[in-house]
Chain A
Amino acid sequence: MKKKFKIIIALFAFLLLTAGFVYNYVFNAKHRDIASEEATISLSADELYLNFETNEASATVSYLDKVLETKGEISSVEDTDVVLNNRIQVSFNSQHNSSLKKGDFLTIKGRCLGYDELLEVVKIDQATIIK
Protein backbone atom coordinates (compact mmCIF):
# COMPACT_ATOMS: atom_id res chain seq x y z
CA MET A 1 0.00 0.00 0.00
CA LYS A 2 2.71 2.41 1.02
CA LYS A 3 4.76 1.48 -2.03
CA LYS A 4 1.86 2.16 -4.33
CA PHE A 5 1.40 5.56 -2.76
CA LYS A 6 5.05 6.40 -3.28
CA ILE A 7 4.83 5.41 -6.94
CA ILE A 8 1.81 7.62 -7.44
CA ILE A 9 3.57 10.57 -5.82
CA ALA A 10 6.67 10.02 -7.95
CA LEU A 11 4.57 9.75 -11.10
CA PHE A 12 2.70 12.89 -10.20
CA ALA A 13 5.92 14.80 -9.56
CA PHE A 14 7.32 13.56 -12.87
CA LEU A 15 4.22 14.71 -14.76
CA LEU A 16 4.35 18.11 -13.10
CA LEU A 17 7.99 18.50 -13.99
CA THR A 18 7.37 17.52 -17.63
CA ALA A 19 4.46 19.92 -17.86
CA GLY A 20 6.68 22.64 -16.44
CA PHE A 21 9.37 21.96 -19.03
CA VAL A 22 6.87 21.92 -21.89
CA TYR A 23 5.30 25.15 -20.67
CA ASN A 24 8.68 26.79 -20.39
CA TYR A 25 9.67 25.59 -23.86
CA VAL A 26 6.48 26.85 -25.48
CA PHE A 27 6.03 30.17 -23.76
CA ASN A 28 9.49 31.25 -22.69
CA ALA A 29 11.66 29.92 -25.47
CA LYS A 30 14.53 32.31 -26.04
CA HIS A 31 14.90 34.28 -29.22
CA ARG A 32 17.99 33.74 -31.34
CA ASP A 33 20.85 35.85 -30.14
CA ILE A 34 22.39 36.98 -33.42
CA ALA A 35 25.24 38.80 -31.66
CA SER A 36 26.51 35.57 -30.13
CA GLU A 37 26.08 33.46 -33.27
CA GLU A 38 28.99 32.90 -35.63
CA ALA A 39 28.57 34.42 -39.08
CA THR A 40 28.14 31.52 -41.52
CA ILE A 41 28.77 33.62 -44.62
CA SER A 42 31.17 36.46 -45.21
CA LEU A 43 31.07 38.69 -48.29
CA SER A 44 31.38 42.31 -49.35
CA ALA A 45 28.40 44.68 -49.37
CA ASP A 46 28.58 44.90 -53.17
CA GLU A 47 28.70 41.14 -53.63
CA LEU A 48 25.72 40.69 -51.35
CA TYR A 49 23.67 43.25 -53.25
CA LEU A 50 24.70 41.88 -56.63
CA ASN A 51 23.56 38.39 -55.66
CA PHE A 52 20.09 39.69 -54.84
CA GLU A 53 19.97 41.85 -57.95
CA THR A 54 20.89 39.05 -60.36
CA ASN A 55 18.74 36.32 -58.84
CA GLU A 56 16.57 37.31 -55.94
CA ALA A 57 15.00 33.89 -55.41
CA SER A 58 18.28 32.01 -55.17
CA ALA A 59 19.87 34.76 -53.05
CA THR A 60 16.87 34.54 -50.72
CA VAL A 61 17.46 30.81 -50.30
CA SER A 62 21.18 31.37 -49.66
CA TYR A 63 21.02 34.34 -47.30
CA LEU A 64 17.57 34.81 -45.74
CA ASP A 65 17.65 34.57 -41.95
CA LYS A 66 21.35 33.69 -42.05
CA VAL A 67 23.95 35.46 -39.97
CA LEU A 68 26.19 37.34 -42.40
CA GLU A 69 29.38 39.26 -42.04
CA THR A 70 29.72 42.05 -44.55
CA LYS A 71 31.97 45.02 -45.19
CA GLY A 72 31.39 48.28 -46.97
CA GLU A 73 31.68 52.03 -46.94
CA ILE A 74 29.09 53.97 -44.99
CA SER A 75 27.08 55.97 -47.52
CA SER A 76 24.60 57.40 -45.03
CA VAL A 77 23.79 57.37 -41.33
CA GLU A 78 20.12 57.66 -40.38
CA ASP A 79 19.06 57.51 -36.75
CA THR A 80 19.83 53.95 -35.73
CA ASP A 81 20.63 52.68 -39.22
CA VAL A 82 23.60 52.93 -41.52
CA VAL A 83 23.64 52.22 -45.23
CA LEU A 84 26.70 50.55 -46.76
CA ASN A 85 27.62 51.31 -50.38
CA ASN A 86 24.08 52.70 -50.92
CA ARG A 87 22.95 49.08 -51.08
CA ILE A 88 22.84 47.45 -47.66
CA GLN A 89 20.66 48.92 -44.93
CA VAL A 90 21.86 47.85 -41.50
CA SER A 91 19.80 48.12 -38.31
CA PHE A 92 21.76 47.69 -35.13
CA ASN A 93 20.96 45.54 -32.16
CA SER A 94 21.32 48.36 -29.70
CA GLN A 95 22.08 52.01 -30.08
CA HIS A 96 25.17 51.98 -32.28
CA ASN A 97 28.25 53.99 -31.70
CA SER A 98 27.40 57.54 -32.75
CA SER A 99 30.96 58.06 -33.94
CA LEU A 100 30.05 56.24 -37.16
CA LYS A 101 30.15 58.64 -40.04
CA LYS A 102 29.76 58.77 -43.77
CA GLY A 103 32.84 57.54 -45.62
CA ASP A 104 34.02 55.17 -42.88
CA PHE A 105 34.62 51.55 -43.72
CA LEU A 106 32.67 49.22 -41.52
CA THR A 107 32.44 45.46 -40.99
CA ILE A 108 29.24 44.23 -39.39
CA LYS A 109 27.56 40.98 -38.50
CA GLY A 110 23.78 40.65 -38.65
CA ARG A 111 20.75 38.74 -39.83
CA CYS A 112 19.70 39.06 -43.47
CA LEU A 113 16.03 40.08 -43.85
CA GLY A 114 15.93 40.03 -47.64
CA TYR A 115 15.63 42.43 -50.55
CA ASP A 116 13.59 45.62 -50.47
CA GLU A 117 12.78 46.46 -54.09
CA LEU A 118 11.25 49.86 -53.29
CA LEU A 119 14.52 51.19 -51.91
CA GLU A 120 16.65 48.73 -53.86
CA VAL A 121 18.53 47.69 -50.75
CA VAL A 122 19.25 44.47 -48.91
CA LYS A 123 18.19 44.76 -45.28
CA ILE A 124 20.08 43.43 -42.29
CA ASP A 125 18.84 43.62 -38.70
CA GLN A 126 20.15 42.85 -35.20
CA ALA A 127 23.60 43.86 -36.35
CA THR A 128 26.71 44.31 -34.28
CA ILE A 129 29.90 46.08 -35.31
CA ILE A 130 32.89 43.82 -35.94
CA LYS A 131 35.22 46.69 -36.74
Chain B
Amino acid sequence: MKKMKHTLSLVLIIVSSIALQAQNKYIDKKGTLTFEASEELFEPVKATNESVTTILNTETNEIASLALIKGFRFKNSLMEEHFNENYIESETYPKAIFKGKLLDFSFSNLMENQIEVVVDGTIELHGKEKQIKTTLKINKLDDLIILKGSFTVTPSDFDIDIPKVVENKIAKNIIVYLDFKLAQK
Protein backbone atom coordinates (compact mmCIF):
# COMPACT_ATOMS: atom_id res chain seq x y z
CA MET B 1 0.00 0.00 0.00
CA LYS B 2 2.74 2.36 1.02
CA LYS B 3 4.69 1.48 -2.08
CA MET B 4 1.71 2.25 -4.24
CA LYS B 5 1.41 5.64 -2.63
CA HIS B 6 5.04 6.26 -3.45
CA THR B 7 4.55 5.24 -7.04
CA LEU B 8 1.49 7.41 -7.28
CA SER B 9 3.24 10.48 -5.92
CA LEU B 10 6.17 9.82 -8.26
CA VAL B 11 3.78 9.67 -11.20
CA LEU B 12 2.16 12.86 -9.99
CA ILE B 13 5.51 14.62 -9.78
CA ILE B 14 6.44 13.52 -13.30
CA VAL B 15 3.07 14.50 -14.73
CA SER B 16 3.10 17.90 -13.06
CA SER B 17 6.65 18.63 -14.20
CA ILE B 18 5.66 17.75 -17.75
CA ALA B 19 2.66 20.04 -17.39
CA LEU B 20 4.98 22.80 -16.22
CA GLN B 21 7.20 22.29 -19.20
CA ALA B 22 4.20 22.36 -21.47
CA GLN B 23 4.84 26.05 -21.65
CA ASN B 24 2.87 28.89 -20.19
CA LYS B 25 4.25 31.17 -22.82
CA TYR B 26 2.05 33.06 -25.23
CA ILE B 27 3.76 34.91 -28.05
CA ASP B 28 2.79 37.46 -30.65
CA LYS B 29 5.41 38.14 -33.31
CA LYS B 30 3.31 40.53 -35.36
CA GLY B 31 1.53 42.76 -32.89
CA THR B 32 0.40 46.26 -33.78
CA LEU B 33 1.46 49.42 -32.01
CA THR B 34 0.25 52.82 -33.18
CA PHE B 35 1.13 56.14 -31.68
CA GLU B 36 -0.59 59.40 -32.38
CA ALA B 37 0.54 62.89 -31.49
CA SER B 38 -1.70 64.84 -33.84
CA GLU B 39 -2.84 68.40 -33.22
CA GLU B 40 -6.01 69.71 -34.77
CA LEU B 41 -5.62 71.70 -37.99
CA PHE B 42 -2.16 70.26 -38.60
CA GLU B 43 -1.06 67.21 -40.49
CA PRO B 44 -1.64 64.01 -38.46
CA VAL B 45 1.44 62.82 -36.61
CA LYS B 46 0.84 59.11 -36.53
CA ALA B 47 2.82 55.94 -37.10
CA THR B 48 2.17 52.21 -36.92
CA ASN B 49 4.45 49.29 -36.28
CA GLU B 50 3.05 45.95 -37.38
CA SER B 51 5.81 43.65 -36.22
CA VAL B 52 5.87 44.12 -32.47
CA THR B 53 6.95 41.14 -30.37
CA THR B 54 5.12 40.33 -27.14
CA ILE B 55 5.66 37.45 -24.76
CA LEU B 56 3.28 36.69 -21.89
CA ASN B 57 3.97 34.12 -19.22
CA THR B 58 0.57 33.00 -17.98
CA GLU B 59 2.12 31.33 -14.95
CA THR B 60 3.87 34.41 -13.55
CA ASN B 61 1.78 37.03 -15.44
CA GLU B 62 5.00 38.64 -16.63
CA ILE B 63 4.75 40.40 -19.95
CA ALA B 64 7.44 41.80 -22.23
CA SER B 65 7.04 43.68 -25.46
CA LEU B 66 9.57 44.94 -28.00
CA ALA B 67 9.17 47.29 -30.95
CA LEU B 68 11.98 48.04 -33.38
CA ILE B 69 11.82 51.78 -34.01
CA LYS B 70 12.55 51.50 -37.73
CA GLY B 71 9.38 49.44 -37.99
CA PHE B 72 7.20 52.50 -37.29
CA ARG B 73 5.79 53.62 -40.60
CA PHE B 74 4.39 57.10 -41.20
CA LYS B 75 2.21 58.13 -44.09
CA ASN B 76 4.55 61.05 -44.69
CA SER B 77 8.06 59.84 -45.49
CA LEU B 78 9.71 63.10 -44.48
CA MET B 79 8.04 62.89 -41.09
CA GLU B 80 9.33 59.34 -40.76
CA GLU B 81 12.83 60.56 -41.55
CA HIS B 82 12.68 63.36 -38.99
CA PHE B 83 11.22 61.03 -36.37
CA ASN B 84 14.10 58.59 -36.85
CA GLU B 85 16.94 61.06 -37.23
CA ASN B 86 16.07 64.07 -35.10
CA TYR B 87 13.71 62.96 -32.39
CA ILE B 88 14.02 59.32 -31.44
CA GLU B 89 17.52 58.80 -32.87
CA SER B 90 16.85 55.24 -33.95
CA GLU B 91 20.44 54.58 -35.05
CA THR B 92 21.57 54.96 -31.44
CA TYR B 93 18.41 53.66 -29.78
CA PRO B 94 16.93 51.15 -32.22
CA LYS B 95 14.19 49.72 -29.99
CA ALA B 96 11.52 50.33 -27.40
CA ILE B 97 11.05 47.68 -24.73
CA PHE B 98 8.30 47.24 -22.18
CA LYS B 99 8.70 44.86 -19.25
CA GLY B 100 5.98 44.43 -16.70
CA LYS B 101 3.25 42.39 -15.10
CA LEU B 102 -0.48 41.86 -15.36
CA LEU B 103 -1.84 42.64 -11.88
CA ASP B 104 -4.45 40.43 -10.19
CA PHE B 105 -4.81 38.38 -13.33
CA SER B 106 -5.70 34.75 -13.44
CA PHE B 107 -5.26 33.06 -16.79
CA SER B 108 -7.54 30.16 -15.87
CA ASN B 109 -10.45 32.57 -15.42
CA LEU B 110 -9.94 34.16 -18.81
CA MET B 111 -12.97 33.74 -21.08
CA GLU B 112 -14.29 34.95 -24.38
CA ASN B 113 -15.78 38.09 -22.90
CA GLN B 114 -13.48 41.05 -22.55
CA ILE B 115 -12.31 41.97 -19.07
CA GLU B 116 -10.07 44.74 -17.82
CA VAL B 117 -6.58 44.09 -16.59
CA VAL B 118 -4.10 46.49 -15.01
CA VAL B 119 -0.61 46.32 -16.46
CA ASP B 120 2.30 47.80 -14.55
CA GLY B 121 5.83 48.02 -15.85
CA THR B 122 8.63 50.03 -17.38
CA ILE B 123 9.17 51.30 -20.89
CA GLU B 124 12.72 51.80 -22.05
CA LEU B 125 13.10 54.12 -24.99
CA HIS B 126 15.69 56.63 -26.19
CA GLY B 127 18.00 55.50 -23.37
CA LYS B 128 15.48 56.45 -20.69
CA GLU B 129 13.13 54.43 -18.52
CA LYS B 130 9.62 55.37 -17.54
CA GLN B 131 7.11 53.59 -15.35
CA ILE B 132 3.74 52.93 -16.97
CA LYS B 133 0.56 51.72 -15.35
CA THR B 134 -2.49 51.35 -17.51
CA THR B 135 -5.71 49.38 -17.86
CA LEU B 136 -6.04 47.19 -20.91
CA LYS B 137 -8.72 44.87 -22.22
CA ILE B 138 -8.07 41.17 -22.44
CA ASN B 139 -9.99 38.14 -23.61
CA LYS B 140 -9.50 34.68 -25.02
CA LEU B 141 -10.64 33.76 -28.49
CA ASP B 142 -10.13 30.15 -29.50
CA ASP B 143 -6.46 29.61 -28.72
CA LEU B 144 -5.48 33.26 -28.82
CA ILE B 145 -5.14 35.74 -26.00
CA ILE B 146 -6.19 39.15 -27.26
CA LEU B 147 -4.82 42.21 -25.52
CA LYS B 148 -5.93 45.69 -26.54
CA GLY B 149 -5.84 49.20 -25.18
CA SER B 150 -3.86 52.37 -24.95
CA PHE B 151 -1.71 54.51 -22.70
CA THR B 152 -0.24 57.98 -22.77
CA VAL B 153 3.36 59.18 -22.74
CA THR B 154 5.07 62.51 -23.35
CA PRO B 155 8.24 63.23 -25.33
CA SER B 156 9.87 64.65 -22.19
CA ASP B 157 9.36 61.31 -20.40
CA PHE B 158 12.12 60.03 -22.64
CA ASP B 159 14.18 63.23 -22.96
CA ILE B 160 13.05 63.78 -26.52
CA ASP B 161 13.34 67.45 -27.43
CA ILE B 162 10.71 68.91 -29.70
CA PRO B 163 12.09 72.04 -31.38
CA LYS B 164 10.14 75.29 -30.93
CA VAL B 165 9.30 75.50 -34.64
CA VAL B 166 7.20 72.35 -34.64
CA GLU B 167 6.02 72.54 -31.03
CA ASN B 168 2.46 73.44 -32.00
CA LYS B 169 2.19 70.64 -34.50
CA ILE B 170 3.04 67.80 -32.13
CA ALA B 171 0.70 67.00 -29.24
CA LYS B 172 2.12 67.20 -25.73
CA ASN B 173 0.51 63.89 -24.88
CA ILE B 174 1.16 61.00 -27.18
CA ILE B 175 -1.42 58.23 -27.22
CA VAL B 176 -0.11 54.75 -27.86
CA TYR B 177 -2.58 52.11 -29.01
CA LEU B 178 -1.76 48.43 -28.86
CA ASP B 179 -3.35 45.35 -30.35
CA PHE B 180 -1.73 42.00 -29.62
CA LYS B 181 -2.87 38.48 -30.48
CA LEU B 182 -0.82 35.98 -28.54
CA ALA B 183 -0.64 32.33 -29.43
CA GLN B 184 0.65 29.55 -27.23
CA LYS B 185 4.21 28.47 -27.88
Listed in ascending order, the chain A residues whose CB lies under 8 Å from chain B are: 25-27, 29-32, 60-61, 64-65, 78-81, 89, 91, 111, 113-119, 123, 125
Contacts and interface: CB of A to CB of B under 8 A. Distances in A.
Interface residues of B, number: 25
Interface in B46-79: 50-51, 53-55, 64-66, 68-71, 76-78
A30 B54 CA distance: 31
B78 A65 contact: no
Most chain B beta-carbon neighbours within 10 Å: one of A30, A116, A117, A119: A116
Contacts of B78: 25-26, 29
A81 B30 CA distance: 9
Nearest to A91: B51
Contacts of B68: 113-114, 116, 123
B40 interface: no
Interface string B34-54: 000000000100000011011
A114 B80 CA distance: 17
A57 B108 CA distance: 41
Closest 10 CB pairs of A and B: A114-B94, A113-B68, A31-B77, A114-B68, A113-B70, A29-B77, A29-B78, A118-B66, A118-B53, A113-B71
Contact of A61 (B29, B51, B69, B91): B91
B53 A125 contact: no
Given A27-B43, A60-B94, A61-B91, A116 B53 contact: yes
B184 interface: no
Nearest to B84: A65
B76 A29 contact: yes
B94 A116 contact: no
A114 B95 contact: yes
B70 to A, nearest CB: 5
Contact of B91 (A30, A64, A81): A64
A27 B71 contact: no
Contacts of A79: 30
A64 B94 contact: yes
Most chain A beta-carbon neighbours within 10 Å: one of B55, B65, B71: B71
B135 to A, nearest CB: 23
Nearest to B80: A31
B90 interface: yes
A117 B95 CA distance: 10
